[in-house]
A = this chain, B = another copy of it.
Amino acid sequence: MSPPATGLFPPILCTVDVVLLTLRERALCVGLLRRDAAPFIGVPALPGGYVHAQEDADALATAARVLDTKLGLEAPYLEQVATFSGPARDPRGWSVSIAYAALVPEARLDSTAKGFSLVPVAQLPQLPFDHGSIVEVAVRRVRNKSVYSSLPVQFCGERFTLPELQSVYESVLGESLNKVSFRRKMDELNMLEAVEGELLRGNAHRPAQLYRLRPEYRRQLAWSERGIGVG
């Protein structure tokens, strides 16, 4: 009921942080960017920034702008994870950070961006602010959703084979899956369509069928009722 910051109190800092996730050599990795401003200047942290009321349509747009501006990454799969808040998480004052997870194939990452690094979430260094907690929550969310949905396909490129996709699921879930069951699930989900090319070149074995995600599932997840890799 009392009006917002009227001059008596400093305004609440409103920011967005992005947990950029990808798979590198079957390891789930998060993208960090060396900070170019205080506080924690020079320290690797989650890419993020202030919400710009004058240009952002909403916080999702802020996340997209941050990725585009700082990493040249356009239109990745983006999903809100949670919002972190409090007086202590940022030394500048009481702050709110709306956290987003971005899932991209490794090939889409231009690691030439200055100060960018990709580190396995299993060997995460100490991070400034509460970025360690943010990564933890984002990774848990992605793993949980991956059990029941098509989320991991976001780590694949445009075309991929079923063995590749199974390996991606296994990497994200951290357990090996039954091939027959996995294929049955992918068939039930009905989210893939075969491409008429094959993976033949250079492999001394039977080539695998190439698939692509049906267009309607590019931004929306397909859900499995009973789970994909449930013991």
Contact in complex: B51, A96 (CB < 8 Å): yes
- Distance, CA A93 to CA B51, complexed state (A): 13
What class of interface size applies to chain A in its complex with B? 35 or more
B residues near A122, Cβ cutoff 8 Å = none
Bound Cα distance A13, B1 (Å): 12
Which residues of the other chain, B, contact A58 by a CB distance below 8 angstroms?
A: 84-86
Are A83 and B59 closer than 8 Å at their CB atoms?
A: yes
Task: List B contacts of A59 (CB < 8 A).
Answer: 83, 85, 96
Cβ-neighbour of A4 out of B11, B82, B226, B231 (below 8 A): B11
Q: Which residue of B lies closest to A10 (CB)?
A: B53
Q: Which residues of A contact B (CB under 8 A)?
A: 1-5, 9-14, 36-37, 49-54, 57-59, 80, 82-87, 93-94, 96, 98, 225-227, 230-231
